[in-house]
């Protein structure tokens, strides 16, 4: 099947409010989604005119500097004291919170709300992954989730599990879009390793067995 990827851009200009300055430390990283990325340089200029040093970082798979994806793995240096995310919802700030201890300020351009992102969900996911990792180490039969989706398919890494953990039996489950109910057909599996989109663990409650992102096995990273 041929696939066309197109940008869904918000065409109206977005400006930052003056009051946001008092929420920010002196040096920050600035992120937004693809919908608002064309505004990012004007936001950077606005902040730097007010003595806020702004870093624009380009994560892996990102469209441009400052563009954040839900699966982005971004580890910021300690010299950056905070993060400003411009966008709605908590999906993207959570990706930042998984890897960075800095304060994350979220500005919603639609509601005009400014808030500090609460880290409780990030902490819960990390604890869950640690528990799932312990279950993986003690498991004999492991299901490996592999997608055929472009940009998410990691078959080589999935197959490497057989090389690195010879004491385990791996069962490879290939799919396009994951149907959680189909996993019930594999009751003999002790746990699942996810090699598809790492944000599948947001739906961890839909799994009857523990699910662990493959990145956690090799570098203790959720994403």
Q: Is residue 1 part of a domain?
A: no
**Residue at a domain's end among 86, 118, 150:** 118
**pLDDT tens for each residue of 19-58:** 999 999 999 999 999 999 999 999 999 999 999 999 999 9
Shared domain check, 35 and 88: yes
pLDDT at 114: 97
Shared domain check, 180 and 104: no
Burial of 139 (0-12, 13-18, 19+ CB in 10 A): buried
Shared domain check, 161 and 90: no
CB 68 within 8 A of CB 92: yes
* Nearest by Cα to 153 from 203, 95, 202, 197: 197
pLDDT at 220: 67
Q: How many domains does the chain have?
A: 2
CATH label of the domain that carries residue 196: 3.40.50.11860
**Residue at a domain's end among 77, 93, 118:** 118
Q: Nearest 5°: phi and psi at 23?
A: -90, -10
Shared domain check, 36 and 128: no
Domain boundaries, position 194? 123-219
CB 75 within 8 A of CB 98: no
In the structure, what pLDDT confidence band is assigned to residue 82 with cuts at 50, 70 and 90? very high
């Amino acid at each position: 099947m041929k696939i066309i990827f197109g940008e869904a851009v918000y065409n109206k200009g977005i400006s930052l409010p003056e009051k946001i300055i008092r929420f920010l430390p002196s040096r920050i990283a600035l992120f937004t989604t693809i919908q608002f990325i064309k505004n990012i340089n004007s936001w950077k200029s606005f902040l730097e005119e007010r003595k806020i040093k702004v870093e624009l970082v380009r994560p892996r798979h990102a469209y441009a500097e400052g563009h954040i994806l839900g699966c982005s793995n971004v580890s910021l240096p300690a010299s950056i004291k905070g993060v400003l995310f411009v966008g709605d919802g908590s999906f993207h700030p959570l990706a930042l919170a998984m890897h960075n201890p800095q304060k994350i300020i979220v500005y919603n351009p639609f509601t005009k709300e400014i808030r500090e992102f609460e880290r409780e969900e990030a902490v819960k996911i990390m604890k869950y992954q640690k528990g799932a990792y312990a279950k993986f180490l003690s498991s004999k039969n492991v299901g490996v989730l592999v997608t055929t989706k472009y940009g998410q398919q990691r078959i080589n890494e999935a197959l490497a599990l057989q090389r690195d953990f010879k004491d385990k039996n791996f069962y490879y489950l290939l799919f396009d879009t994951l149907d959680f109910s189909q996993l019930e057909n594999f009751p003999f599996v002790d746990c699942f390793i996810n090699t598809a989109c790492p944000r599948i663990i947001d739906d961890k409650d839909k799994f009857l067995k523990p699910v662990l992102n493959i990145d956690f096995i090799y570098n203790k990273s959720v994403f």
